Amino acid sequence: MLVRYNPDLFLLQEHWLTPANLYKFDSHFVNYFSFGCSAMSAAVEAGMLRGRPFGGVICLVKKSLRYAIIKIGTCILVNVYLPCVGSVDRELICDDLLSEIDALCQRYRDCNIVIAGDFNSDLDSTDNVARTVSEFANRYAMIRCDKLFSKVYQPTYVNLALNQQSRIDYILASSDCHITDFSVVDPDINFSDHLPLFVGVKCFTSKHDCIDIENRKSVPKQKYPRWDKADHNAYHRYTGDNLVPLITKLNAMLYSSEYHNDRIDELYDNIVCTFVNGEKLFVPSHDKNYYKFWWTEELTQLKKAAVDNNRIWKAAGKPHSGRRQQSRLKYRKRLRECEQQSTLSYTNDLHEALLRKNGTAFWKCWRANFEGPGKCVEVENCVDSDVVAEKFASHLSSAYTPNNAVRASKIVQDFLLMRSSYCGLPLTVDHVIDTELVSSVISHLHNGKAPDIAGLTILNICLTVIRQLLLFCVNCSK
């Protein structure tokens, strides 16, 4: 069927696959995007599978290797990649691609068009593909951004090894499109032969769309302090300078028999404020997996050397020989080696966990490297966050509502009556809470746990001043 009909879309039912096996569609149909679900989720969650599998639907959408189109407001954005010189049926492929784009543009006549990408042809030449693209641009009154903003020839393809350069990457825009800026970017680190193009485009949306965007709630992202990337010396200097007067007050309260809750709360708030401000100033906070865990100081130095040599090379007029290429290749080679070593590292961890028959360590490593985060997007056929929150609130409210209000009130009264005369067991020397006990409990806490309501983590609590304050609060509560 694939060879004979070459369909653009498959609508498949009863594939019988479990959620963990849906990836097989991507493996067996590499030229298609897969969208669907499994009907076996509940059966898998219930335990061992028994009997005949059932259900499941999937849609397979054919990938386009040459172009992609999106619509934003009043703009149609087209990303194209035309075949290079020497490709089989090059002109025919270009004609078909432009015909498909033309059909979509006819559908959205009231929108501006922006076409950007690798045309693999110099549009100033007499090449047949260049002539076809120019005719398409003239039909829709499109202008070239490189001619609009720059009169100087700037190549977009540069291959120093072959000593070749040309301009084959372009951005075409409708004459009515509001273009604010355009430039050919030459970054200090670029492993591609092509230079990126930057363009500023103003897309206008309808009033209804603007209202929806303003009312749309952004999903909060949890950020975590990365103490391994922090400036520890600056953090310790800041907290030390601000905690010295607080420690003096705390010691005075420890040796005094009189204390007030307001003074304790004030002292605690000042200590927390010091830690929180120091963390904001000197400890970066980012999402999970923001940093490459395999990145090393060696890579930082190699990258810096590559950037410095590239700037010297540009200042010298971009000579064809020199240290710039060697530095760039050395950084690129080491970068790939570190990436491969990271893969080898977690492969060894999986192997060792299997040898030790440590199931917990094996699955922890497996999920960290091969499974994405399980994100629930639907609750009882609802995807709106406010509606989902109301459903959870209603469910929890009903779950914690007593079946018999009179009986529940009677139980509370009985508890309060028994609590009034309760004195507990006598306290002995073994029950005394001192600094050593508090320190021992804190030292056994695990890193990586969620912060408390004030934003403090175990790394903050490990400091001596917090231990003293905790001990003082415990003693005051006796």
pLDDT per residue over 232-291, tens digit each? Answer: 889 888 888 888 888 788 777 777 766 677 887 888 888 888 888 988 899 888 887 777
**Mean pLDDT on 213-222:** 58
**Does a structural domain hold residue 403?**
no
Instruction: Report the number of distinct structural domains present in the chain.
Output: 4
pLDDT above 90 (res 410) = yes
Segment (H or E) for 143: strand 142-144
Domain containing 10 equals 2-62
**Does a structural domain hold residue 390?**
no
Query: Minimum mean pLDDT among 42-51, 66-75, 212-221: which range?
Result: 212-221
Shared domain for 161 and 200, answered yes or no, is: yes
pLDDT above 70 (res 337) = yes
Shared domain for 54 and 78, answered yes or no, is: no
Q: Do the beta carbons of residue 273 and residue 239 sit within 8 Å?
A: no
pLDDT at 268: 81
pLDDT above 80 (res 370) = no
Q: Alpha-carbon torsion 414, 420, 421, 425, what sign?
A: positive
pLDDT in tens, 20-44: 888 888 888 888 888 888 888 888 7
**Mean pLDDT on 350-373:** 70
**Does a structural domain hold residue 165?**
yes
pLDDT at 119: 92
Q: What average pLDDT does the structure give for the chain? A: 80
| Higher-confidence position of 67 and 320 | 67
**Does a structural domain hold residue 256?**
yes
pLDDT above 90 (res 411) = yes
- Residue 54's alpha-carbon distances to 20, 27, 296, 379, in angstroms, are 15, 21, 49, 23
pLDDT at 295: 79
CATH no. for residue 100? 3.60.10.10
pLDDT in tens, 290-320: 777 777 788 888 888 888 887 887 787 777 6
Shared domain for 136 and 76, answered yes or no, is: yes
**Does a structural domain hold residue 412?**
no
- Residue 164's alpha-carbon distances to 160, 167, 176, 329, in angstroms, are 6, 11, 35, 19
Shared domain for 241 and 277, answered yes or no, is: yes
Percent of the chain with pLDDT over 70: 84
Segment (H or E) for 35: strand 32-37
pLDDT in tens, 109-151: 888 889 999 999 999 888 899 999 999 999 888 999 888 887 7
DSSP 443-462: HTSPTTPPP-TTS--HHHHT
pLDDT in tens, 325-335: 677 778 778 88
| Higher-confidence position of 426 and 409 | 409
pLDDT in tens, 164-214: 889 999 999 988 888 888 988 888 888 888 899 999 988 776 655 554 545
pLDDT above 70 (res 476) = no
**Mean pLDDT on 439-459:** 77
Shared domain for 130 and 210, answered yes or no, is: yes
